Structure 1
Amino acid sequence: MTSDANLEQRQHDDAPATTSKTTQPDRALSAEAVTINRPAQELYDFWRDPTNLIQVMENILSIEQIDSTRSRWTVKAPAGRTVSWEAVITDDVPGERITWQSAEGADVANSGRIEFQDAGDRGTVVRAIIAYDPPGGAIGQFFAKLFQREPRLQSRRDLRRFKQLMETGEIATAARTREQVEEETN
């Protein structure tokens, strides 16, 4: 392979940071896992439809399905801003894993993988691995963490909400819903 071909291959490596041969040291990385008492295929099926993820990811404003492998994500960012990108599924093994990469021109370049591993009677271990280039580098990452918009914090919380929804059919919250307020006033 020529040096130009090697350079091109490195620039197009869409593997998550934990497996990439070209991971940049300045990329932030989040790796979280949770065991959910549900079959892997059921959890995979929920996750494979990105529009479902609005239910469990608190900082998502919208997810628009473009086609079977592409979707447009818009999320809350620090200081009342929003960021968006197009996500492209690069590897999909039904019942086992989904790998994605942001398309060129993303507000926040990112890649990741969600894995579903059978845990026998305990259900399924769900592992989320996300790599991203924080806007503004380390300073931007600091402010994202300060405003609770940092992907490491978000992914941990989002996986807990996913577990709640899949095991109980609802997500526990301290906030009162409109229905609860109406019940109390009647």
Structure 2
Amino acid sequence: MNLQSKLKIKNENLQQELFRMLALYAGQWLLRSGRSKGGKPWRFVSGGVLLYIGATGKIPFIPWLQRINKNHGQFNCKYEIVVQQPPAIVFSYFRDFRNLKKHIPCLKSAKPLDIEKTHWELTIEIMGKSCPFELFVVKERINEFLGWSANEDAFLYHTGRIELREGVIPNITVLDLVFSYTPPGGNIGRFLTSPFQPLVRSKLRLFLDKLRKEIEEEIYLS
């Protein structure tokens, strides 16, 4: 193991310890303030959960949410964007999921698990804890179509596909994206997150605009 890897592991361990300490302090504060402010139930529940996280380093409910996070109750988002690059460059960019890391703060790693890069392992960080999941390229036509799906027990189960076609002028690509996801907890999660869907859709649109800008500028300049 080289020095860089050792430093990375040490840094991750320090972050986890800091997270646990903060959880312990926050849990104690909620329990104390709950007693002094009329004993509101949510303070005792939240304080207990934070104390559990601080003591064990484990986040409760995530395994349970993964077990019931089946492919139902999905939200669907559809977008169309125009990219000032030929389809070959746009397809190449989306075909490598490592390109998404710089635009998704909670995405900590993305690595292919096979030579063809059809099987990936992605790791997101939630409340200081790493949640890895697998991603599969399920269908593709070079420079025309790409479809992918997360494994069914992923914390955030989702599927996506992009279709590319040439624009009316050279070196222009029209990209159609369909993104479907199931909030953690299946139908329960769908009900709880319904009010936030307009915000999610606007964030996805901004995310696509960032990708478009990078494809047009950085890849072109390189």
Same fold per superposition (TM over 0.5): yes
Please tell me whether Structure 1 or Structure 2 has the larger radius of gyration of its CA atoms.
2
CA distance in structure 2 between the partners assigned to 1:64 and 1:28 by the alignment: 27
Residue equivalent to 2:137: 89
Alignment map for 1:7-46 (pairs within 5 Å): 24=72, 26-46=73-93
SS at match of 1:31: strand
More helix by share: 2
Residue equivalent to 2:62: none
Residue equivalent to 2:6: none
CA distance in structure 2 between the partners assigned to 1:73 and 1:153 by the alignment: 24
Contact 2:121-2:133 at 8 Å conserved across structures: yes
Contact 2:74-2:190 at 8 Å conserved across structures: no
Contact 1:61-1:75 at 8 Å conserved across structures: yes
Residue 132 of structure 1, CA deviation: 1.1
Residue 145 of structure 1, CA deviation: 5.5
Residue equivalent to 2:161: 113
What CA RMSD, in Å, does the superposition of the two structures yield over aligned residues? 2.8
Is 1:156 matched up with 2:156? no
Deviations 1:111-130 (A, max 9, x none): 11012121121711112211
Q: Which runs of 5+ in 2 are unaligned?
A: 1-70
SS at match of 2:133: strand
Bigger RCO of structures 1 and 2 (CA < 8 A, at least 6 apart): 1
Equivalent residue letter for 2:93: F
Residue 155 of structure 1, CA deviation: 2.5
| Identity between Structure 1 and Structure 2 (%) | 21
Question: Alpha carbons of 1:120 and 1:60: their partners in 2 closer, same or farther (altered >3 Å)?
Answer: farther
CA distance in structure 2 between the partners assigned to 1:41 and 1:61 by the alignment: 27
Residue equivalent to 1:6: none
Residue 82 of structure 1, CA deviation: 5.9
Equivalent residue letter for 1:108: L
Question: Normalising by the residue count of structure 2, what TM-score does the alignment of the two structures yield?
Answer: 0.55
Question: Normalising by the residue count of structure 1, what TM-score does the alignment of the two structures yield?
Answer: 0.65
Equivalent residue letter for 1:94: I
CA distance in structure 1 between the partners assigned to 2:108 and 2:204 by the alignment: 15
CA distance in structure 2 between the partners assigned to 1:59 and 1:97 by the alignment: 27
Q: What count of residue pairs does the alignment treat as equivalent?
A: 143
Question: Alpha carbons of 1:85 and 1:129: their partners in 2 closer, same or farther (altered >3 Å)?
Answer: same
Is 1:141 matched up with 2:193? yes
